[in-house]
Amino acid sequence: MTKILANLFSKMDLLESDKTVNLLLGRLAPSYKSVVFNMADNMMIAAIAHAFEKSEKEVKQKYREEGDLGNVAETFSVSSGRLDIIQIYKQLLVTANLEGEGSQDEKVNKMAEILKSVDSLSARYLVRIPVGKLRLGFSDKTMIDALSWMIAGDKSLSGRIKKVYEYHPDVGALVREVKKHGLEKGLSKFKLEIGTPVLPMLAARLKSPSEMISKMGEVSVEPKFDGLRVLIHFQKNTSPLAFTRNLNEVSHMFPELESLEKYLKADSAMLDCEAVGLDPKTAKMVDFQTTMQRRRKHDISKSQKKVPLRFQIFDLVYLNNKSLINDGYLSRREKLEQIFKKNQTFWVDEKTITKDPEVIKKKHQQYLDKNLEGVIVKKVNAKYVPGRTGWRWVKMKEVEEAAGKLSDTVDAVILGFSRGRGKRASFGVGQFLAGIKKADKYVSITKVGTGLTDRKFKELAKRLEKIKSEKKPREYDVHSDLEPEYWVEPKQVVELAADEITKSPKHSAGLALRFPRLVKFRDDKDPSQATTLKEIEALHSLQS
């Protein structure tokens, strides 16, 4: 796959290179640029019917037979048109940018116009892009490897390219600039800048405070909040931007950011923080699901009053047009503490510097008593390194100290569900099959039917009904004995707790969660950020 892509990269025209890369990934731009189609299956069914002069009933019947709208379009297509990449891209971009009253009909008509202008094989893939079902098995990482292969004939340059990608995650632009200028000069074009999110630094896991000190030396011990991870971009005299951990731009969620300039003594800054919801009556922190109510795009002022927010700021990665990612953690924290005026909306996290495991244990319990998630422990001289690498940041949750419990929760993707019997059947779902990431596949690891209230069962049913798949997605690796009644697209991430991890002859992960329980829906996470098999294997070894 990588070799084929590398060959394609070498043949691409410079002007079409970034567009081709994004189309191969099933999108028009990186997620932080917020270019989305907002086209559901029913809209695409209408577009196919309009393009090929069929009734929607005929298209739906063929969809039931094929299980793939792309195949349906290919079957009905009679065109032999040949639009080039740039023409296709421009027309898809126009379609995605249609909004306002009547925009759904306009999108359908525009998509029909595009389908009539291409050959049948092109129609198959074009249909899959706006509905998010291209499924070529590519990721940004695949593109980085292919770029390395194009230059060196192997993946030896992937690490260097990835380092730049981590603070400028636009792989299409990387391919374009490297093709245009060569590796060194091409990569030098990219800098950390306001408006382009850096990939977030993540916490690893260690078994005990003693092991933390042994591996990390002197550390900063800080509270861990149950909120929404947000990277705030501030530029004086302009509206601040906010990005989630999966790089979606969500500034609309946070009108509070408009007051940031009053409290920040800086011309520009990137702030890493946790947005935590507050009870408007008691000012106490609320749970994650309540905080996530702020994700709505309409009636923001209403949701702001219902769930006011506080931003718990813990890191500074850019200040006054200068990158700080290569500075030590304490150096970054000192600068962070110097630039904020005291206020009630933007709080700099407290910290305790120590080399003593007992201090970590004590702070952990103190934060648990305050209904927080315990502590996060950070190596004092660590650079800001995106991802979960090395022992720079580690977390310690309550379950780590509970006998017979798994040392951390698992972020899994729902693969399918069954309706069940009795009362649960009336909810529409009785249990669901959950999986984790293994390279470009999702492998099953557990079935979950507990940890849900009646209300959660009903909410789960609504969520899964929207992403039902006519056929098993090809990236799923599931044993035939475990297949659910209904498959769903890999879109819903859930956080699961369990008592332990056991070996499993049936689950394709080779391991299974014992006594799994749903903790919460992780709407702040993309399926690509689900727990990996490698991480599960590490948890399994920690357990023993």
Q: What are phi and psi of 405, to 5 degrees?
A: -115, 150
Q: How confident is the model at residue 321 (pLDDT cuts 50, 70, 90)?
A: very high
What mean pLDDT comes out for the span 460-471?
89
Got the DSSP string for 213-245? HHHH-SEEEEE--SSEEEEEEEETTS--EEEET
pLDDT in the model for residue 405? 67
Least confident of 191-205, 287-301, 404-418: 287-301
Q: How confident is the model at residue 428 (pLDDT cuts 50, 70, 90)?
A: confident
Distance CA 325, CA 317 (A): 5
Got the DSSP string for 7-53? HHHHHS-HHHHHHHHHHHTTSSS-GGG-------HHHHHHHHHHHTT
**In the chain, domain spans:** 27-128, 141-187, 204-401, 410-543
Distance CA 305, CA 9 (A): 50
Q: How confident is the model at residue 423 (pLDDT cuts 50, 70, 90)?
A: low
Q: How confident is the model at residue 456 (pLDDT cuts 50, 70, 90)?
A: confident
pLDDT (tens digit per residue) in 324-353: 999 999 999 999 999 999 999 999 999 999
Q: What are phi and psi of 291, to 5 degrees?
A: -55, -40
pLDDT in the model for residue 301? 67
Q: What is the residue whose two structure tokens read 């990569």?
A: 187
Q: Are 179 and 14 in contact (CB under 8 A)?
A: yes
The average confidence (pLDDT) of the chain is 90
Distance CA 300, CA 312 (A): 21
What mean pLDDT comes out for the span 45-51?
96
pLDDT in the model for residue 66? 86
Distance CA 455, CA 218 (A): 45
CA atoms within 13 A on the CB side of 162: 14
- Enclosing H/E stretch for 125: helix 120-128
pTM of this structure: 0.82
Q: Are 285 and 275 in contact (CB under 8 A)?
A: no
204-401 belongs to CATH 3.40.30.10: no
What mean pLDDT comes out for the span 488-502?
92
Do the domains 204-401 and 410-543 sit in the same CATH topology, yes or no?
A: no
Smallest CA-to-CA distance from 97 within 106, 87, 85 is with 106
pLDDT in the model for residue 422? 63
- pLDDT score of 6 more than 90: yes
pLDDT (tens digit per residue) in 476-487: 999 999 999 999
CATH of 410-543, one of 3.30.70.360, 2.40.50.140, 3.40.50.1820, 3.40.50.620: 2.40.50.140
Class of domain 27-128: mainly alpha
Q: How confident is the model at residue 399 (pLDDT cuts 50, 70, 90)?
A: very low
Q: Are 81 and 118 in contact (CB under 8 A)?
A: yes
- pLDDT score of 403 more than 60: no
Q: How confident is the model at residue 404 (pLDDT cuts 50, 70, 90)?
A: very low
pLDDT in the model for residue 8? 96
pLDDT (tens digit per residue) in 254-267: 999 999 999 999 99
Torsion of CA 99, 523, 521, 27, to 10 degrees: 80
Out of 62, 162, 179, 224, pick the active-site residue.
Answer: 224
Structure tokens at 511: 């391991």
Known catalytic membership, residue 224: yes
